[in-house]
Structure 1
């Protein structure tokens, strides 16, 4: 049954299998600049400092993760995850507050999933890593796929694909800093540019490219205002010819573990 659900979600490009479950999720206005959104206010203050300290301690600059260290400090990570579960998004939250919150919920729970099952060679070796409900947002149960496809992807912000981390070598790297209302737009921009220009994630020349399968799996998210190449060219140091054929690198699901 779980396999059938997964295949059904893939067939629908994962857009309609999950919902925000009644949460007041906002969408990003992409007609505005991609830095800070102006004139936004929030009555909520979410404290991500505990996660920020853990990331700085256990994540290398290249994104590799010291999962043994996280496991030894699991009490602090579990405390942060529990804290996030108690923060119920409201309509008063700014879009930046929501983005930072949901990205951190995803990344913290992915790390928790790995250390709860550590040692492991790949997240794909675990039991339904993305489809099983593993955490709460307020009083609602969520899976990682439910959060990604039912909330984050519906916020009209394709840069989230480079902000969330799936604990694998081919994923966009996990940053050694937590997302906050103040930095989320800047960090998503940085994460997107770094990923696209990382030669181990994308091989880009003007007339020949092999790019991450992320651009295939979530193509619709990147083509609302043009082609995949148009999107990549916004961030790529090497500009790609518009008629270049798209080819994809095989995805490496081995654990993004620090040696």
Structure 2
């Protein structure tokens, strides 16, 4: 009976997992382009510097060895970000703010329940991960990870490269970048992240009779356009790719991106 229930829950989770739509939360679509102030992401950078490790095509996070002091540093960063009203800053500052906040919150969620096998194990009984849980308050609004990605980042910036920037703590996800995003480096970091992912097996795996793509390109097909437009996007970062007319398969590894 226990095995049946576990199997039923797993089936429920995977069958009901669907990428949320990009739906603008207009409250956040405000900026002050005259504000030259920058937002400091120093504490987040310190965390990345100490705990990111590269292994082949994967950038892993060393959750097991995060010290209490360094977890307090991460908590301090999140408190600082929660006290900021990003609407008072330029859009370029906002983009970096939201990406870093998303990634830092994800690491915090893993640390709170570590050790775990996958981020999908977090959340309620019938939840597939923690993405719909309200986990931080910014400018008086309680936010979920899905709010940040699908109601703020995607609809405001309309940049498919955002999918390479936000990290879901899984091996199948585009790597967590070793540099915190800033207004100055965001565009270069996005291109770097796209290049790394599209040239990795977890992004685009060429086989004899078919191509295996990350499920990201299936879940968020609306952001990448038609199949022709998608392959034009992929070819931009992997020029040797040729037009493909065979079967396309999709895959994603939800195992934790741990060292």
Q: In which range does the TM-score fall when normalised by the shorter chain?
A: 0.7 to 0.9
Q: How many residues align?
A: 238
How far off is 1:14 after superposition?
A: 1.7
SS at match of 2:191: helix
Which structure's residues are more often strand, by fraction? 2
CA RMSD of aligned residues (A): 2.7
Residues 19 and 146 in structure 1, CA contact (< 8 A), matched pair in contact too: no
1:108 correspondence with 2:101: no
Instruction: Find the aligned partners of 2:234 and 2:248 in 1 and give their Cα distance.
Output: 12
Match 1:118 to one of 114, 127, 144: 114
Q: For structure 2, which runs of at least 5 residues remain unmatched after alignment? A: 1-11
4+ residue runs over 6 A deviation:
6-9
How far off is 1:84 after superposition?
A: 0.7
1:238 correspondence with 2:231: no
Residues 204 and 210 in structure 1, CA contact (< 8 A), matched pair in contact too: yes
Match 1:22 to one of 16, 23, 27: 27
Per the alignment, residue 204 of structure 2 pairs with 202
Q: For structure 1, which runs of at least 5 residues remain unmatched after alignment? A: 27-39
How far off is 1:21 after superposition?
A: 5.5
TM-score, normalised on structure 2? 0.83
Q: Radius of gyration: which is bigger?
A: 2
- Residues 219/49 of structure 1: CA separation in 2 closer, same or farther (3 Å cut): same
Match 1:83 to one of 80, 84, 93: 80
How far off is 1:89 after superposition?
A: 1.5
Residues 206 and 240 in structure 1, CA contact (< 8 A), matched pair in contact too: no
Instruction: Find the aligned partners of 2:178 and 2:201 in 1 and give their Cα distance.
Output: 20
TM-score, normalised on structure 1? 0.83
